[in-house]
């Protein structure tokens, strides 16, 4: 299957190379215009203004930038715009990393740069969010590559998790929670993910001992996400908060951006919808003071799912200055 890419071009490579005829016509145009791939920019156009600013005094660079922008804008959906980037004081590596991570794209995301070392401290964070660093020498190859191996992407994994849970629900009778987790692990492994279970890392809610993480997904040796299942027959506020804290804080010392809390609902089948609404209301009512660390809670995003017995939403925010995105999925097991 061919994989679409989204490219985030750093100002350094643009200012250095955009006026070069070979770079412009044989790399930039084929990989971004004459392809199914996308270009990432911010809605406020800070990055584009930086391109223009750094190209000041170079007529060829300015002309090529103008041409590039026009042909990209003429194709619907070719440019992917990212909101809320104006908080950055300058267009540097942290801006580019944030832009790529925040981009609402289900395709592979790349930061194209001539200064790889400026991202050396961010490699793990970028990889955990499905972002790779790319040089111009690999740009065209990445645009032409046929992808067959599984590549971790947060949004795609979310879809695969929902699908796997639907299969777990269909084979749930007379099984314990660990057996459900084993089934979920096996299904994700069959999809091609590198899954580890019950690894001991982080601290418990009391900070007195090391705790168990139910399922961990790794990609190219790096942790990328955690799945924490929980069985409930009714709303248990303290238990819900404890597991939420566990995912984004106590048992997540690496501050993985994406995590997943799965609720196996074992109450009356007729009460599932009511249970989900109460669960949703409970999470909406949480306040920063309810968590163990400094937490900022942002909006909830409901996911459309074709199964009546599975309902899910994502809550985003920050914990101790690091962004997080936690999906909450309730699945009827009765």
Reading the block at residue 100, the tokens are 């790529």
In a domain, 328, yes or no: yes
Following DSSP, what letter does each residue of 97-138 receive, concatenated?
HHHHHH---SSEEEEE-S-GGGGGGGHHHHHHTTEEEE-GGG
The stretch 260-273 carries a mean pLDDT of 93
- Cβ atoms of 202 and 172 within 8 Å: the answer is no
Q: Is residue 184 part of a domain?
A: yes
* The pLDDT value given to residue 199: 47
Instruction: Decide if 249 is inside a domain.
Output: yes
Mean pLDDT value of segment 125-130: 84
pLDDT at residue number 206 = 37
When pLDDT is averaged across residues 13-32 and rounded to a whole number, the result is 89
Q: Residue 119 pLDDT more than 50?
A: yes
Residue 57 in domain: yes
pLDDT tens-digit profile of 134-156?
A: 998 888 888 876 544 567 888 88
pTM, rounded to two decimals:
0.58
d(CA 37, CA 57): 30
CATH of the domain at 57: 3.40.50.1010
pLDDT at 145: 65
Return the minimum-mean-pLDDT range out of 24-33, 208-217, 258-267, 300-309: 208-217
The answer as to whether 149 is a domain residue is no
Q: Give the chain's mean pLDDT.
A: 85
Residues 282 and 236: their CA atoms lie apart, in Å, by 10
Distance in angstroms (rounded) separating the CA atoms of residues 278 and 91: 43
Q: Is the pLDDT of residue 326 over 90?
A: yes
pLDDT in tens, 162-172: 999 988 887 65
Domain that holds residue 73: 5-144
What pLDDT is stored for residue 148 in this prediction? 46
Question: Are residue 132 and residue 158 in the same domain, yes or no?
Answer: no
271 and 137 part of one domain: no
DSSP H helices in 76-218: 93-102, 123-128, 139-144, 154-169, 177-191
What is each CA distance from 56 to 49, 61, 65, 110, in whole angstroms? 11, 8, 11, 26
Is the domain of 159 the same as that of 18? no
Q: pLDDT tens digits, residue range 180-225?
A: 788 888 888 878 888 887 543 444 443 333 334 578 888 877 888 9
pLDDT in tens, 282-317: 999 999 999 988 999 988 999 999 888 999 999 999
């Amino acid at each position: 299957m061919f994989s679409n890419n989204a490219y985030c071009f750093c100002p350094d490579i643009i200012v250095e190379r955009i006026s070069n005829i070979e770079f412009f016509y044989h790399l930039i145009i084929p990989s971004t215009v004459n392809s199914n791939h996308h270009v990432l920019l911010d809605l406020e156009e800070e990055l584009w203004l930086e391109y223009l600013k750094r190209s000041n005094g170079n007529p060829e660079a300015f002309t090529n930038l103008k041409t590039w922008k026009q042909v990209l804008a003429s194709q619907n959906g070719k440019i992917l715009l990212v909101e809320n980037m104006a908080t950055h004081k300058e267009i540097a590596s942290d801006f580019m990393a944030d832009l790529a991570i925040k981009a609402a794209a289900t395709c592979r995301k790349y930061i194209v740069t001539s200064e790889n070392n400026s991202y050396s401290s961010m490699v793990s964070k970028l990889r955990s969010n499905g972002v790779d660093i790319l040089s111009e020498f690999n740009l065209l190859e990445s645009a032409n590559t046929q992808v067959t191996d599984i590549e971790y992407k947060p949004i795609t994994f979310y879809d695969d998790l929902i699908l796997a849970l639907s299969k777990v629900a269909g084979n749930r009778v007379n099984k314990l929670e660990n057996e459900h987790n084993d089934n979920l692990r096996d299904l994700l492994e069959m999809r091609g993910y590198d899954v580890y279970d019950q690894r001991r890392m982080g601290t418990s809610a009391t900070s007195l001992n090391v705790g168990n993480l139910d399922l961990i997904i790794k990609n190219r040796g790096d942790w990328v996400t955690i799945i924490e299942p929980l069985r409930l027959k009714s709303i248990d506020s303290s238990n819900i908060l404890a597991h939420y804290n566990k995912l984004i804080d106590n048992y997540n010392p690496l501050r993985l951006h994406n995590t997943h809390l799965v609720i196996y609902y074992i109450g009356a089948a007729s009460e599932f919808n009511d249970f989900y609404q109460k669960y949703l209301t409970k999470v909406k009512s949480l306040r920063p003071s309810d968590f163990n660390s400094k937490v900022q809670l942002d909006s909830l995003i409901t996911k459309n799912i074709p199964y009546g017995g599975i309902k899910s939403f994502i809550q985003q925010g920050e914990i101790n200055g690091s962004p997080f995105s936690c999906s909450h999925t309730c699945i009827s097991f009765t």
